[in-house]
Structure 1
Amino acid sequence: MAQKDAGKRNFYALLLEGTLFITGLAFLDADTVVSVFIHTFTGSLKLSGLASTLRTASSIIAQLLLGPYIRRIKNMPAFMSTIMFLFRPLCLIMVPILALKLDPNTTVWIFLFIYTLLWASDGLVVVPWTDLLGRLIPGKKRGRLLGNQQVLGGIGSLIAGYIVKTTLDNARLSEPEKYSMLFSLAGIVLLFSSVAMLFVKDTNTNTSRPPANMLEYYRKLPGYLKINKDYSRMLAVQLIGSFSAAVIPFIVLFGKGTFGLSPAQVSTMIYIQIIGSLIGGFFWGSVSQHMGNRYVILVSMIISCIIPSLGLISLGIHRTVSPLVVLVPMCLLAGINKGSWMGYTNYTIDVVDEENRPAYFVLTSLITFPTTFLAYLVGVMADAFGFVPLFIIHLSTAIIATGLALTLKSPNDSDNTIQSSSLS
């Protein structure tokens, strides 16, 4: 009975933490708010792309540094809570920075430093969090938990998005005042998400382990690719699919720069993308629970094919039809697809054993690390060549990834179907 109560408490604590985290990030969304903030202050697409690169790269580097020592953490919830309380409220620092009215480039670089620290802290948390998810939440409930996180976080993001839109549309506020409000709200909500983690209890605490040899740890990691073919196929899809996803942060800027959208139209597109995230929470949670995580990955790749196709269509019809006819579904689909990460996470949990699960997540981070620079390269290409080449590359890689996703197998929920994933 006590174990059942602990399981229920952990379910709702993780649900609340994730919901508040998603809501808080709606005020700091790299694909919308952050990219528009940077472009407003500097006019640079390259720096907008750099923000997305730093977000992913800092998280992955932190995961790689923590990886060899993950099994030596005796109390994962306590470790995670400490990291969250130290770093998640950092964006509150931007309030006095913006009040100082520094040079716009200086302001943006300070923000990028804070933004990097925020996502590096998330990298320190994400592998322990995923390990807890796999150990504390049964297979059938994992999809429901992540789906509910997306739904409730989507509702929170919808409220946050309305605040973002209202704030950005307010002509009586200066740009620093607008973003001071948004960054302060982000810091407060993210702080509350840290509080939720205090209620997670892990009864299966780790015993003391001998010191990890970092070089030996990373030397062994590539061997996991050979012994688990299901994981290897999924990783190939994720790797190639990341090429198609690199253009997503630029959809709003594409509409703003190519079609001369007004500030009100830009804020509306941001809001539509947030609505898409809410829809995605319902959608991906349902697909994961009823069809399996293979189909989450497959459908997300099909959506990745549709988005650049719409971008190319918009360039051909905008003289006769309002570009919003195409830009609105682009933003909606981009928002929906943002929640598809749960497919890769749950599929990995499904096909690898519990003991080596953290190693597989670290391996994923290691192999996908080079793709973190794609967003910056996309920004450079957009500045130099425009968006047509980007949409063509996006579409081509999405088609390849979709073909590979068709080869994925649907693992059963029973533990005896998990492939042997140990190197020993």
Structure 2
Amino acid sequence: MTSGVVERRYRHVRRNFAMFFADYLLFGIAYALTSPSAVVPEFISRLTTDERVIGLAGSMSTLVWLAPQLLFSQFVTRGTRRKPYIYASPTLRTMIPLFALLIAVFGGPPINATAILICFFITNGLFWIGDGLVTIAWADMLGSSLDAKARSRLYGFGQFGVAIGALVARQIAAHLLAPEGPMFPFNYAALFGVAGVIFVLGGISLALLREEDHGGTVKPGPTLREFMPYIGKVLREDGKFRHFIITRLFFDLSTLALPFYILLGTDVLKRDSSSLVGDSILLTTLGNATLSLFNGWLSSKFGPTAVIRGMSLFKIGMPAAALLAIATGSVTGVHAAFFMLGAINGAFTPGFFDWLITHAPDDRRPIYVGLTNTISAFGNIAPLIGGVILNYAKTAYSGMEGGAGASYAILFWIALGAAAIGAVLTLGLSEPRQAQPVAA
């Protein structure tokens, strides 16, 4: 590719890198404050003891974010511009500060737990559905605005910045959730309020992106009538993409126990919830920070497939560490699991996400992203299923010595099996950068 084409295609690279980085950093910090795997399950468990509701709350963000993306991709590809969808981001992200306000309204005394739960599912559902729409356009703009080397730097420095920023988030969470902090649920209202403001600031950064001129290479996508046949053709004819989808599905299924690591610490190991939530944020941050720059280098040097293979080891390690915690009665295994969760979170973007946007054809990238994420949504109902399994297991082991630990162990063994299958499948995963030359 000639330098003239590269200059035309990447003429806003500095501005766009800065805006992508700002959103990457701000979104990551806000996400750490409202972690669906730690903060949300603990918050919801204070409002209800129903494991099915807790599991649904923990998985809802991923499920409603992923499921509609295939439909969204059809709308996005009808035109050649993506920026109009990005403009919605700041408004959509106001759902989180709105939820914080509603917690304060229904926080009592007495606490209206039902109203808070309803508000949680509505506001957070709208937030993640809206972010799913924005993500389709965001992914395409990222792929068309930054080359592979620049994306690798963004992932590495972005994840490292998020990790450092999340240390501050950990202190905020520890202060607000401590016994001497605000009373429940106003402590969580403050937590979601701070996170909500940060989310909105990240959305403003996205709105300041500049869309690159595709030079006529991007054509409108298939019509609604042509869309499903086109999807079928992609799945039939693109064997590398199909292998990628299957691999990711097994890793998604390994999230079966994700909302229950924090509850393992409080329910079985009897650790204080406020300190454990703070520890979980810190350890997830450390795991992310420790490997973020390495993942950026690994992605730049060897490509996203190498990152995915490295991530698979931590996918296996998480449930294994939880099983060790159950066997020994030590919280160290739970701490190790959260450290590995941070490593996994830090590897997802330079791994799975970059594999996808590198492999996908430039003019059909939104469709590939939407299809992948919609299929992945089926795997991400796993935490809800995990909640059902845990509920029945607790009933079955009720009254038995060690019954609580045995109930959780069933969940983690299933998660371990799914992760192990996914790890084996990564061995046959192709490297997209070898098949698609990177623009200089």
What is the TM-score of this pair, normalised by structure 2? 0.87
- Quote the RMSD (CA, aligned, Å): 2.4
Secondary structure, aligned partner of 1:116:
helix
Quote the residue 1:337 is aligned against: 344
User: Is the 8 Å Cα contact of residues 77 and 197 (structure 1) preserved in structure 2?
Assistant: no
Distance 1:315 1:53, change over 3 A: closer
Alpha-carbon contact 2:13-2:145 (below 8 Å) kept: yes
- Between the aligned partners of 1:150 and 1:8, the Cα distance in structure 2 is 19
CA distance in 1 between partners of 2:291 and 2:51 (Å): 27
1:91 paired with 2:102, answer no
Q: CA 1:110–1:155 in structure 2 vs 1: closer, same or farther (change >3 Å)? A: same
Q: Which runs of 5+ in 2 are unaligned?
A: 1-6, 394-406
Q: Secondary structure of 1:94's match?
A: helix
CA shift, 1:255, in A, is 1.1
| Pick aligned residue for 2:23 from 17, 28, 39 | 17
Instruction: Tell me if 1:176 matches 2:185.
Output: yes
Aligned to 1:194: 203
Letter in 2 for 1:110: C
Kept in 2, the 8 Å contact 1:222–1:363? The answer is no
Which structure 1 segments of 5+ residues have no match? 419-424
Q: Among 6, 19, 42, which residue is 2:12 paired with? A: 6
Q: Does 1:290 align with 2:301?
A: yes
3-state SS of the aligned residue for 1:304? helix
2:234 counterpart residue number: 224
Whether 1:349 aligns to 2:357 is yes
Query: What residue in structure 2 maps to residue 68 of structure 1?
Result: 74
Matched pairs, number: 413
- Does structure 1 retain, via aligned residues, the 8 Å contact 2:312–2:419? yes
SS in structure 2 at match of 1:179 = helix
User: What's the counterpart of residue 263 of structure 1?
Assistant: 273
Match of 1:422 in 2: none
The question of 1:112 aligning with 2:121 is answered yes
Q: Contact 2:29–2:162 at 8 Å: present in 1 too? A: yes
Deviations 1:385-423 (A, max 9, x none): 1211111111111111111101112233573599xxxxx
Deviation, structure 1 residue 345: 1.2
Whether 2:284 is the aligned partner of 1:278: answer no
Contact 2:101 2:193 in 1 (8 A): no
Q: Does 48-57 or 31-40 show the bigger shift?
A: 48-57
Aligned counterparts of 1:253 and 1:211: Cα–Cα separation in 2: 45
Deviation at 1:17, TM superposition (A): 1.3
Partner of 2:392: 384
TM-score if structure 1 supplies the norm length? Answer: 0.91
Choose the corresponding residue for 2:263, options 248, 253, 267: 253
Aligned partners of 2:317, 2:286: CA distance in 1, in Å?
18
SS in 2 for 1:21: helix
Q: CA deviation at 1:161?
A: 1.7
| Structure 1 residue identity aligned to 2:344 | N
User: Percent of pairs identical after alignment?
Assistant: 22
Q: 82, 86, 97: which is aligned to 1:80? A: 86
Tell me whether 1:371 sits opposite 2:379 in the alignment: yes
Which one is further off, 354-363 or 120-129?
354-363
Distance in 2 between the 1:350 and 1:251 partners?
33
* Letter matched to residue 65 of structure 1: L
1:280–1:41 CA distance, 2 compared to 1 (3 A): farther
**Between 174-183 and 65-74, the greater mean CA deviation after superposition:** 65-74
Which residue in 1 is equivalent to 2:397?
none
Report the 3-state secondary structure (helix = DSSP H, G, I; strand = E; otherwise coil) of the residue aligned with 2:236. Answer: helix
Q: Whole-Å Cα distance in 2 between the matches of residues 254 and 206 of structure 1?
A: 54
User: Aligned with 1:66: secondary structure?
Assistant: helix
**Could you give the per-residue CA deviations for residues 134-165 of structure 1, whole angstroms, max 9, x where no partner exists?**
11101122121122221112222221121111
- Greater mean deviation of Cα atoms: 148-157 or 181-190: 148-157
In 1, Cα distance between the equivalents of 2:192 and 2:410?
A: 34
| Residue 56 of structure 2 is aligned to residue 50 of structure 1 | yes
Which whole-Å CA distance do the structure 2 matches of 1:76 and 1:352 have between them? 16
Indicate which of 161, 165, 170 corresponds to 2:170.
161
What pairs up with 1:127-146 in 2 under 5 angstroms?
A: 127-146=136-155
Q: Which runs of 4+ in 1 moved over 4 A?
A: 1-5, 205-212
1:300-319 mapped onto 2 (5 Å cutoff): 300-318=311-329
